[in-house]
Structure 1
């Protein structure tokens, strides 16, 4: 079968032996596979990523000197079943799969390890226990977005955002756009999106952003400001003294204070900020510009070393949360949200290529101006998206 092999930062279509399923596994005929931003980084910076993964205990991540077949955002049709596979996975059934695979005595990251070849290929192996039948006749294109949309669902879940909170999304690439889609589906009333690219800002509007700003012209934090947001320390100090002057006139003032704390009304209002860029300097820049007490969800993955000013984060009482991936339940829930029409991810798809067009698609995505999510259709002859 044909696959796209990555070796030394080069992409090449080659022929390899077709895979066979082990117990509990499926061989899928790949129908669609998304090109992820992490794939773009891994192609050229695999060794840096491998070093980071070693530090978290996973030593089998892809390296530049070892060929790997990438692709972890996929949907496929069951072509062959291993033993002990549930009856729901009949041959011909369309499924999406969580990109983890048992192989060589361990569990590996599908498409990001040479031990678990991914879906830049005509066929891919998936674990039946981590696969889900695509419901409601959901289109192949949208089904293939289950994985990246699950990443965004996990980020929004971890943010603890409420409908009345102001959300600020910094960076409107595929991850930022997916976050906007989920915020809209959740009913968040104020969604501000910020990106340098006019085309990406237009996509953000299509995904549900209420306000879009060019950060070289306007501040997303000012665009999202609501009554009660505090941007400077002296205003916080004044709030503290002024509130206590009023409270101390009440009998049992401490009980009133505790009640206000329980309702989340004792301190300044905070926006919830989603950092979806992932380049050095962004986190510190967001901390510096954000209002006091902001909650920052770091969704973008910075591939290099970075630095920040902890004292500034301390002084502003910034709540900083890093996120990665998703749970199996979030993966399943995302699929059903897409299939039931509760989540609209269609604006993300901006192009399709065949296996022979993957190298060109990487080049286009490196510019990041015109496209968001490019899908691979192994049966397509398209050389450019």
Structure 2
């Protein structure tokens, strides 16, 4: 089969044996595979990521000297089953998407992110049947291919515990940030502020439902976030609010702490705060958020900073910021994302800005190095050309 192999940062079109599924696995003919930011990082920073994942107990992440077929945002059709196929619930020809993990015994590998689990930049890929779902409602293949990255956003919003009345601030409108915006608006979050330097990406953010779109080179997303929402933006404001409250409650016929305790129980004293989604993943980004976010902000880190970064913990301590990191999703979140796409509850119009054949993957990586050129590019193994079929965002 034809596939794209990554070795020492070089992407090359190669011929490989068609993989064979083991028991509990499927062979899938790839129809589309999204190019993820993780793939771009892996090309240049595989060893840094592998070192970090070693410390997490996963020593099998790809390394720069290995031959690896990337690609984990996969949609395709079932071709064959492993042994004991009579137990299979997915017949050949069924369109499917999959959580990109395969298991041999108790060893689990990330599809497209391990030398032992070739990914979807190929004509065929082996997937785990238990983690594979049929595509419902005749969902177009270009939209079904977004299930995996949208599930990442679905999980991030879940971790953020965002309510409809909250203010959400999305920093970075690349594919991850745009996906987060789409999920937030599908949850009817009333105020979503999006920030990005690219005019094209800001336009996509608005098309996906962002209520306020900011160019951080011109205006501050924090001013927009704080305007009229009652957030506390300085420590003296916090202290004055406490003193004011005690003085006000002291005039009641019961001790002030009795009333305060009762208000605590109802949630009335809970500070107002935005939920911030960091979707950039470059050094300095997180410390900038700690410096400028209102007090009590909940910060959800979705962007992956591959290298060493520096933050000032005293900023987060004195502001009592809630810092959360996210990765991936649960199988249930993956399933719910797929059905939200199929039911039309999750809008992704305009997110896919182009398709490329296997021969053009290297050119697609080059194009994606310019953040203002494309949002999401899909690999389509049926395309023979080197060029990108689609329209750039700007």
Judge same fold: TM > 0.5, yes or no.
yes
Alpha-carbon separation, structure 1, partners of 2:240 and 2:189: 30
User: Match for residue 257 of structure 2?
Assistant: 254
User: Match for residue 179 of structure 2?
Assistant: 178
Q: 2:330 aligns with which of 321, 324, 327?
A: 327
Alignment RMSD (CA, Å): 1.2
User: Match for residue 238 of structure 1?
Assistant: 240
Is 2:173–2:279's contact at 8 Å kept on the other side of the alignment?
yes
257-266 or 347-356: bigger deviation: 257-266
Structure 1 residue 257: Cα displacement: 2.1
Is 1:103–1:116's contact at 8 Å kept on the other side of the alignment?
no
Structure 1 residue 378: Cα displacement: 0.3
Is 2:81–2:88's contact at 8 Å kept on the other side of the alignment?
no
User: Match for residue 297 of structure 1?
Assistant: 300
Q: Deviations over 1:23-67 (max 9, x none)?
A: 010000001000000100101111111111111111111011110
Confirm or deny that 1:158 pairs with 2:155: no
Aligned pairs for 1:198-277 within 5 A: 198-225=199-226, 226-250=228-252, 251=254, 253-277=256-280
Alpha-carbon separation, structure 1, partners of 2:259 and 2:217: 44
After superposition, the Cα gap between the structure-2 partners of 1:83 and 1:258, relative to the gap in structure 1 and judged at 3 Å, is farther
Is 1:103–1:115's contact at 8 Å kept on the other side of the alignment?
no
Is 1:35–1:375's contact at 8 Å kept on the other side of the alignment?
yes
Structure 1 residue 104: Cα displacement: 7.6
Alpha-carbon separation, structure 1, partners of 2:13 and 2:106: 28
Alpha-carbon separation, structure 2, partners of 1:158 and 1:270: 15
User: Match for residue 340 of structure 1?
Assistant: 343
Confirm or deny that 1:374 pairs with 2:343: no
Alpha-carbon separation, structure 2, partners of 1:49 and 1:260: 47
After superposition, the Cα gap between the structure-2 partners of 1:263 and 1:383, relative to the gap in structure 1 and judged at 3 Å, is farther
SS in 2 for 1:370: coil
User: Match for residue 313 of structure 2?
Assistant: 310
Structure 1 residue 201: Cα displacement: 0.5
Q: Deviations over 1:177-234 (max 9, x none)?
A: 0000000000000000000111110110011100000111111111122332111111
SS in 2 for 1:238: helix
- Structure 2 regions of 5+ residues with no counterpart? 389-394
Structure 1 residue 103: Cα displacement: 3.6
Aligned pairs for 1:1-385 within 5 A: 1-85=1-85, 86-103=87-104, 106-225=107-226, 226-250=228-252, 251=254, 253-385=256-388
Structure 1 residue 261: Cα displacement: 2.5
Alpha-carbon separation, structure 1, partners of 2:76 and 2:261: 54
- Structure 1 regions of 5+ residues with no counterpart? none
SS in 2 for 1:369: coil
Structure 1 residue 348: Cα displacement: 1.1
Is 1:132–1:332's contact at 8 Å kept on the other side of the alignment?
yes
Alpha-carbon separation, structure 2, partners of 1:381 and 1:365: 20
Alpha-carbon separation, structure 1, partners of 2:168 and 2:84: 45
Structure 1 residue 259: Cα displacement: 3.7
User: Match for residue 391 of structure 2?
Assistant: none
Structure 1 residue 255: Cα displacement: 4.3
Alpha-carbon separation, structure 2, partners of 1:80 and 1:156: 36
Structure 1 residue 370: Cα displacement: 1.6
Alpha-carbon separation, structure 2, partners of 1:98 and 1:164: 32
When the two structures are aligned, how many residues end up with a matched partner? 385
Structure 1 residue 253: Cα displacement: 4.0
